[in-house]
Amino acid sequence: MRVLVAGAGVGGLTTAVALRARGFDVEVLEAAPRPRTEGGGLGLAANATKVLAALGLDLVEAGVGRVCTSFCLRTTDGRLMRDLPIESIAEELGSPVVNVRRGDLLALLRDSLADTPVRYGTGVTGHRVTGAGVSVTLADGGTRTADVLVGADGIRSAVRARLVGDQPVREYGYVCWIATAAFEHPRLPAGGAAHYWGSGQRFGLIDIGGGHVYWWGTKNVPLPQARRWTGGKHGVQAAFASWAEEVRQVVAATPEADILSVPAQDRPFLATWGTGPVTLVGDAAHPMLTSLSQGAGSAVEDAHALAHHLAAGGEPAAALRRYEADRRDRTRGLVTASRRLSRIEQMSNPLATRLRDLVIQHVPMRALRNQNIAPMRYDLPA
């Protein structure tokens, strides 16, 4: 069976890896002119590292990223609100939480594809279902044919638009800044991750190994500013000027060109991800806010499940519908939970934020642990 994968991000490349492992003939088509190297970092929870290990990609053995051994929530000035038992969670689930530079993960996925072609500068612009499968139109005017087309081309997926129309994204009124930098600080131990919660603002500082960190910041802003941030690095520094020393220092240590800004967006959840020999994975199917850190992880799960159902046999279209049915409830829950947590995190009312922080400090550890472990529970398809 020949499969075309549109998109060479985490979801697309993992899909290609999973399909290749099952013996499928795969080709990846990516609109960008070259492999992506920017994009900050990723927190891969135990569900994602479990799936990657099942595909033969053990991040720890490969030396990619850093295993997360501590995770805490802090106030804007750095005072500890709560330590979360990340190590015992990973032990219970049987797989580590790994924080990694996005570019390093993509390079590992590409390397594992060996001779499977990944063609850059070859974006998919359209497709039509034929009696023999699917015919794909490329940006350069060329075409490809295959038995199956998988849209893994992100939140603005051309494959999704062809299936359901070019629907508007859902916006949430805050901007996200993301970057990686060479940085060390006594308050961030090896393998450490810290989230700082303020009023309408947050910051994350995460060790990714090799003397480098991944950091991100958010701030409630009008929608035009969220869509296109023009404040530069100076604006980011101004947003966190009174925050903890390590927050101010890591932003100062980051070259302005390395700071990316993206708006907080997702889409209404789709009841149907595909038709005939066409389906979607990752952000093309179910884009979600970053609050649960499950965007990449859910795409990795999609990839493994898709390969599993296609390999089970039968007509490709029937296998794709089984895959979609398998993934729908799980991903809908993650999208909904991410929205719910985002509303709590981005609160700007002083009384509401004070109450939120008190709850974090005093909620029973069992409840806090259960809330954090729930999104990471995932069983591989039998």
Q: What is the DSSP string of 105-127?
A: HHHHHHHHTTTS-EEET--EEEE
51 domain-assigned: yes
* 183, pLDDT greater than 80: yes
60 domain-assigned: yes
Q: What's the whole-number mean pLDDT along residues 251-264?
A: 97
* 336, pLDDT greater than 80: yes
* 39, pLDDT greater than 80: no
236 domain-assigned: no
84 domain-assigned: yes
pTM of the model: 0.97
Task: Find out whether 30 and 122 touch, Cβ atoms under 8 Å.
Answer: yes
pLDDT averaged over the chain? Answer: 96
pLDDT above 70 covers what percent of the chain? 100
* 151, pLDDT greater than 80: yes
227 domain-assigned: no
pLDDT at 37: 79
pLDDT band at 38 (very low <50, low <70, confident <90, very high): confident
Q: What's the whole-number mean pLDDT along residues 202-207?
A: 98
What's the CATH code of the domain at 293? 3.50.50.60
Q: Which domain holds residue 367?
A: 2-169+267-376
- pLDDT tens digits for range 303-335: 999 999 999 999 999 999 999 999 999 999 999
Q: What's the whole-number mean pLDDT along residues 195-207?
A: 98
* 382, pLDDT greater than 90: no
pLDDT band at 159 (very low <50, low <70, confident <90, very high): very high
182 domain-assigned: no
Task: Find out whether 101 and 180 touch, Cβ atoms under 8 Å.
Answer: yes
Lookup result for tokens 């980051």: 254
pLDDT band at 265 (very low <50, low <70, confident <90, very high): very high
Lookup result for tokens 């023999």: 132
Q: Report CA torsion sign: 320, 326, 330, 336.
A: positive
pLDDT band at 381 (very low <50, low <70, confident <90, very high): confident
- pLDDT tens digits for range 66-117: 999 999 999 999 999 999 999 999 999 999 999 999 999 999 999 999 999 9
pLDDT at 254: 97
* 301, pLDDT greater than 80: yes
Strand stretches in the chain, DSSP E: 2-6, 25-30, 41-44, 66-67, 70-74, 80-84, 98-101, 118-120, 124-130, 133-138, 143-146, 148-151, 170-182, 192-197, 201-209, 212-220, 260-266, 278-280
pLDDT at 162: 95
Measured between alpha carbons, how far is 138 from 123 in angstroms, rounded to an integer? Answer: 6
Q: What's the whole-number mean pLDDT along residues 45-66?
A: 97
235 domain-assigned: no
pLDDT band at 283 (very low <50, low <70, confident <90, very high): very high
Number of domains in the chain: 1
Q: Are strands 124-130 and 98-101 parallel, antiparallel or unpaired?
A: unpaired
pLDDT at 323: 98
pLDDT at 153: 97
pLDDT at 36: 83
* 178, pLDDT greater than 90: yes
15 φ, ψ to 5°? -60, -45
354 domain-assigned: yes
